[in-house]
């Protein structure tokens, strides 16, 4: 009895693992035509949207994923493949601000502030992709991130009817754990899109790129979601 039960359980686990791998490969295959490893082959777009990540790990070690994305943004901008850089990421608290950190580093490396727009409400990849279209009125843009992330991001864009492409930047050599987590992230994305039909957590006031407004005094780049709006957002219960 127990032997048969264990056999059935192993079979179910094997089927689930095989399904997860097949879905992972399907997403890679479906998005392949829209991903470019070489910046010289990258078609020109007005906006390059950089997906945010932390600059440092919790232990203080420098995050290579971050440095490669910054370098990729510089490559795309300096080669004329994009005119503006939209920095999309999380702004969890005063000490953690992905868009502002990216902006600071890009300006230090020669990108003019007038070519940079920040999106502080890129809480998830889905939020960043959909907000680029709906908030920043950009339907045909270049995503900048690692290839494994490119595939999920482009898939979300395709599902949402957005004509995005992706510039796949380099990845650290040892990324087995990250790649395993990506399989789970893709299952989560499929669940969000096809089952839960999730929308971005926050949309806010639409703004075009280049942003047509006056920057308030004391604010380094006025975002589509202001710090005050984010504070109000944090007070509201999160929708599941």
Q: What is the DSSP string of 95-120?
A: TB-HHHHHHHHHHHTT--GGGEEEET
* pLDDT band per the 50, 70, 90 thresholds, residue 215: very low
Domain 7-195 has CATH 3.40.50.620: yes
CA angle at 81 for the pair 80 and 86, rounded to the nearest 5°: 105
Tell me: the pLDDT tens digits for 2-61? Answer: 888 888 899 899 999 999 999 999 999 999 999 999 999 999 999 999 999 999 988 889
For residues 122 and 83, give the distance between their C-alpha atoms in angstroms, rounded to a whole number: 21
Q: Which pLDDT score, from 0 to 100, does residue 236 have?
A: 60
What residues contact residue 143 under an 8 Å CB cut-off, 6+ apart?
48, 49, 51, 129, 150, 153, 154, 157, 164, 165, 166, 167
Q: Which pLDDT score, from 0 to 100, does residue 226 have?
A: 56
Cβ atoms of residues 44 and 82 within 8 Å: yes
Q: Which pLDDT score, from 0 to 100, does residue 219 have?
A: 47
Cβ atoms of residues 88 and 52 within 8 Å: yes
Q: Is pLDDT of 237 > 70?
A: no
In percent, how much of the chain has pLDDT > 70? 86
Q: Which pLDDT score, from 0 to 100, does residue 45 have?
A: 97
For residues 164 and 149, give the distance between their C-alpha atoms in angstroms, rounded to a whole number: 13
Which helix (H) or strand (E) is 168 found in, with range? strand 165-169
Q: Which pLDDT score, from 0 to 100, does residue 239 have?
A: 47
Q: Is pLDDT of 222 > 60?
A: no
Q: Which pLDDT score, from 0 to 100, does residue 175 have?
A: 78
Q: Is pLDDT of 72 > 90?
A: yes
Q: Which pLDDT score, from 0 to 100, does residue 91 have?
A: 82
Domain spans of the chain? 7-195
* pLDDT band per the 50, 70, 90 thresholds, residue 209: confident
Cβ atoms of residues 183 and 149 within 8 Å: no
Cβ atoms of residues 155 and 27 within 8 Å: yes
The pTM assigned to this predicted structure is: 0.85
For residues 182 and 9, give the distance between their C-alpha atoms in angstroms, rounded to a whole number: 25
Beta-bridge mates of residue 85 = 48, 116
Tell me: the pLDDT tens digits for 193-208? Answer: 999 999 999 888 888 8
Q: Which pLDDT score, from 0 to 100, does residue 206 have?
A: 87
Q: Is pLDDT of 218 > 60?
A: no
For residues 67 and 61, give the distance between their C-alpha atoms in angstroms, rounded to a whole number: 12
Tell me: the pLDDT tens digits for 133-173? Answer: 999 999 999 999 999 999 999 999 999 999 999 999 999 88
* pLDDT band per the 50, 70, 90 thresholds, residue 213: very low
- Strand 35-36 to strand 84-88: parallel, antiparallel, or no bridges (unpaired)? unpaired
């Amino acid at each position: 009895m127990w032997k048969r039960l264990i056999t059935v359980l192993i079979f179910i686990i094997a089927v689930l693992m095989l399904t997860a791998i097949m879905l992972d490969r399907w997403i890679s295959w479906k998005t392949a035509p829209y991903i470019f490893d070489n910046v010289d082959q990258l078609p020109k777009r007005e906006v390059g949207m950089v997906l945010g990540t932390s600059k440092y790990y919790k232990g203080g070690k420098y995050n290579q994923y971050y440095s490669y994305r910054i370098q990729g943004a510089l490559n795309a901008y300096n080669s004329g493949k994009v005119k503006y850089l939209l920095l999309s990421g999380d702004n969890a608290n005063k000490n953690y601000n992905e868009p502002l950190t990216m902006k600071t580093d890009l300006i230090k490396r020669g990108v003019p502030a007038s070519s940079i727009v920040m999106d502080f409400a890129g809480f998830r990849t889905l939020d960043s992709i959909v907000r680029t279209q709906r908030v920043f009125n950009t339907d045909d843009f270049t995503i900048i991130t690692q290839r494994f992330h490119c595939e999920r991001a482009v898939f979300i864009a395709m599902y949402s009817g957005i004509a995005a492409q992706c510039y796949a930047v380099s990845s650290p050599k040892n990324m087995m754990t990250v790649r395993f987590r990506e399989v789970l992230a893709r299952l989560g994305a499929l669940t969000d899109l096809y089952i839960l039909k999730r929308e971005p957590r926050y949309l806010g006031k639409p703004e075009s790129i280049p942003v047509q407004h006056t920057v308030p005094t004391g604010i380094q780049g006025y975002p589509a979601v202001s710090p005050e709006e984010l504070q109000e957002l944090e007070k509201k219960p999160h929708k599941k």
